[in-house]
């Protein structure tokens, strides 16, 4: 198996000034910081770890760092096409002729197609190197005459993607499942009145939207008097959630976190559709972290309402942190659970 982090460290040594794009597919603990280099990430957990490793790091929705000049950009390609195209366009807008972009990834992830499209965008040469197995490294130079921008689905633009009752849900590329309402989240909203024995919208409660994405759970469940705190690991979700809830006239505070780890206050209710993918793989440790922090952030008589894909072993995971983990509904695709009596 190719160690992309080792290759990145080698490439960093070739330039005194560069930008390393860090998505969720890289382990920051294996990256060696270098003076003159900045790491750019939209992931809060990666940002925190990069700083611990000694990196100068910019946490944003993949915005070019202010007043920064790079001669080389290194990018382990992301899972979402719009993100990859946005970052290639971003590099093209800030690099000068003869500067370099290094793309790393697997053929099954689309690295070959991205390389060809990036060459057209940058207007210069492309060198491809097979690393072993399915993995490739592509070095692209910047030319004097660049081509048309790649289709990044208007990456920086928030747009209405659905209506939820009388309100509108806003999202953008970079937010998980951004073009539609997640069916699991929809099931959780449909089941909430029975799970809570309370009609929607919720009244004057303190609610935590744990892993908020575009803010759908809060938008669909809460009312103008609900005290909403939303949190997500993704910088794009910050924009989408706050815009969605502000446009609906709801009181909301957003705080970036890794599964709620930066929050300290406790809540009456927690709503959560935890992710189980990390980059291109499945990671049930994510579910564990969401459950652990949910238990920590609940008042003693509070409730946590979760929805997960049917194959996620939530009962086994959550039972470490809750006295009661009650299956509400198994729809054949998703399972809703009511978690009470936190052990923490």
Same-domain check for residues 136 and 165: no
Same-domain check for residues 129 and 179: no
Band (pLDDT 50/70/90 cuts) for residue 277 is very low
What pLDDT score does 146 carry? Answer: 93
pLDDT at 282 over 90: no
Contact 54, 1 (CB under 8 A): no
Band (pLDDT 50/70/90 cuts) for residue 249 is very high
Give the tens place of pLDDT for each residue, 129-152.
Answer: 999 899 999 999 999 989 999 999
DSSP state of 50: H
**230: CB partners within 8 A, 6+ apart:** 208, 209, 212, 215, 218, 241, 242, 245, 252, 253, 254, 255
Q: How far is the C-alpha of 333 from the C-alpha of 303, rounded, in Å?
A: 23
pLDDT at 27 over 50: yes
Mean pLDDT, the chain, whole residue set: 95
Provide the percentage of residues in the chain whose pLDDT is more than 70: 97
Q: How far is the C-alpha of 161 from the C-alpha of 214, rounded, in Å?
A: 10
Same-domain check for residues 192 and 337: yes
What pLDDT score does 276 carry? Answer: 66
What pLDDT score does 245 carry? Answer: 98
The whole-number average pLDDT for the span 312-332 is 97
88 assigned to some structural domain: yes
Half-sphere exposure of 277 toward its Cβ, with a 13 Å CA cutoff? 9
The CATH number of the domain holding residue 197 is 3.40.50.150
The model carries a pTM of: 0.94
* Containing structural domain, residue 93: 4-141
Band (pLDDT 50/70/90 cuts) for residue 285 is confident
153 assigned to some structural domain: no
154 assigned to some structural domain: no
Provide the percentage of residues in the chain whose pLDDT is more than 90: 93
- Based on C-alpha coordinates, what's the Rg of the chain? 21
Same-domain check for residues 296 and 170: yes
Same-domain check for residues 131 and 167: no
Longest dimension (CA), the chain: 65
149 assigned to some structural domain: no
148 assigned to some structural domain: no
């Amino acid at each position: 198996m190719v160690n992309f982090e080792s290759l990145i460290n080698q490439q960093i040594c070739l330039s005194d000034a560069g930008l390393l794009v860090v998505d969720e597919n890289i382990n920051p603990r294996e990256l060696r910081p270098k003076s003159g280099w900045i790491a750019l990430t939209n992931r809060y957990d990666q940002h925190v770890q990069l700083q611990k490793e000694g990196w100068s790091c910019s946490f944003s929705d993949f915005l070019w760092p202010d007043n920064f000049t790079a001669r080389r950009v290194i990018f382990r390609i992301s899972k979402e096409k719009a993100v990859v195209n946005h970052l290639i366009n971003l590099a093209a807008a800030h690099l000068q002729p003869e500067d370099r972009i290094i793309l790393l990834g697997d053929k099954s992830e689309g690295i070959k197609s991205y390389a060809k499209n990036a060459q057209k965008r940058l207007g210069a040469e492309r060198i491809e190197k097979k690393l072993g197995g399915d993995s490739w490294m592509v070095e692209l130079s910047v030319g004097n005459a660049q081509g048309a921008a790649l289709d990044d689905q208007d990456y920086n633009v928030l747009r209405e993607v659905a209506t939820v009752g009388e309100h509108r849900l806003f999202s953008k590329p970079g937010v998980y499942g951004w073009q539609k309402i997640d069916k699991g989240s929809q099931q959780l909203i449909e089941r909430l009145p029975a799970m809570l024995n309370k009609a929607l919208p919720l009244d004057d409660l303190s609610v935590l939207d744990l892993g908020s994405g575009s803010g759908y759970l809060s938008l669909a469940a809460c009312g103008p008097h609900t005290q909403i705190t939303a949190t997500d690991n993704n910088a794009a979700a910050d924009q989408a959630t706050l815009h969605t809830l502000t446009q609906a006239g709801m009181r909301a505070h957003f705080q970036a976190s890794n599964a709620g780890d930066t929050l300290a206050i406790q809540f009456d209710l927690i709503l959560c559709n935890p992710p189980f993918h990390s980059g291109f793989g499945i990671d049930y440790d994510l579910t564990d972290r969401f459950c652990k922090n949910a238990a920590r952030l609940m008042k003693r008589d509070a409730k946590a309402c979760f929805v997960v894909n049917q194959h996620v072993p939530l009962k086994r995971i959550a039972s470490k942190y809750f006295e009661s983990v009650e299956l509400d509904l198994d729809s054949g695709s998703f399972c809703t659970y009511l978690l009470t009596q936190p052990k923490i």
